[in-house]
Amino acid sequence: MKIDSKTGILGLFGNPSRHSLSPIIQNFFLSEYGKNCVYLSFEPGSINLKESFNGAKNLRFVGLNVTMPFKEDVFNLVDSADEPATVFRAVNTVRFLPEDNNKAIGCSTDGAGVIKSLEDKKFLWKGKKCLLLGAGGAAKSAAYSILQKPVEDIFVFDILPGKTDYLFELLGKPKKIKPLKNLTDIDERLNEIDLIINCTPAGMNTGNIDNTDLQAVPGRWSLKDKFVFDMVYKPFNTKLIEKARADGASEVIPGIEMLINQAAFSFKIWFEIMPEERLLKEIENELVKSLI
């Protein structure tokens, strides 16, 4: 793509954000669809986040992605937000509307990314029992979206019980959500669990954070015949992914799939174009090579 005076700017706000694969994914989409736009990473400090956000708005950026630790802060800066973002008061995508004084619209594509990743693997929701490990931002998005499906139960565990309770209350204390105080509470019911999603940093290595030695589930658990979904995408083969494959899980979904799917939904918000499946698979294959 040739950069000229009309080239638009998309940005990723996070701290850290330089490790992110989002620029590779989004610039690939931009190139494939011939958009005169470039996607860049930015690392504003917490103290000047509002100033940075307003700078992007005033400079007429096309939009933003937002990652940790700014998702909740940026929610408070947008002019309006979609329903998922409003429920858990966090955004990962912002679209600026040039036709409306660059009004900032906040959205969350994380939940949509979770659902697509599972449905791409033919996961059937009806009557299923799910276990979410972690109750932070990623878990909130997953829980909200899975609640829209005809599942039977969604068990949630976090090492900080207060976070689990907050997620439960935030979503309106739905009967399908079953907060857990201890993972041993699920031991005797493990054979009933159809889907396990790791929403924690266990297994992650970003360079700044190295949790590669951490296992998201107890070693005593058998993951045979379960769908296992790890949101961690770096490294590609986490300890959870390796265990799931060794145990004979029915389907193993690495985090790179969610990353690409939520990115595709962000691209749709900015350009009203959903990237084709062949492009999602092409960029996935390229990224996997760099992660293994």
pLDDT of 88 over the 90 cut: no
Q: What structural domains does the chain harbor?
A: 8-108+257-291 (3.40.50.10860), 111-253 (3.40.50.720)
Q: Report yes or no: 286 and 36 within 8 Å, Cβ to Cβ.
A: no
| Catalytically active residues, by annotation | 71
pTM for this model (two decimals): 0.93
DSSP 3-state assignment of 20? coil
Distance CA 231, CA 113 (A): 10
Place of tokens 């900080």: 160
Spatial distance between the Cα atoms of 15 and 251, rounded to a whole number of angstroms: 33
- Tokens at 125, concatenated: 């929701």
The helix or strand, by DSSP H or E, that contains position 96, with its residue range, turns out to be strand 93-97
What pLDDT digit, counting tens, does each position of 155-179 carry?
A: 999 999 899 999 999 999 999 999 9
- As a whole number of angstroms, the distance between CA 207 and CA 19 comes to 8
Query: Distance (Å, rounded) from C-alpha 63 to C-alpha 11?
Result: 7
Q: What pLDDT digit, counting tens, does each position of 30-50 carry?
A: 999 999 999 999 999 999 999
pLDDT in tens, 73-85: 999 999 999 999 9
In DSSP notation, 155-216 reads EEE-SSHHHHHHHHHHTT--TTEEEES-GGGGGGGGGG--EEEE-S-TT-B-SS-B-TT--S
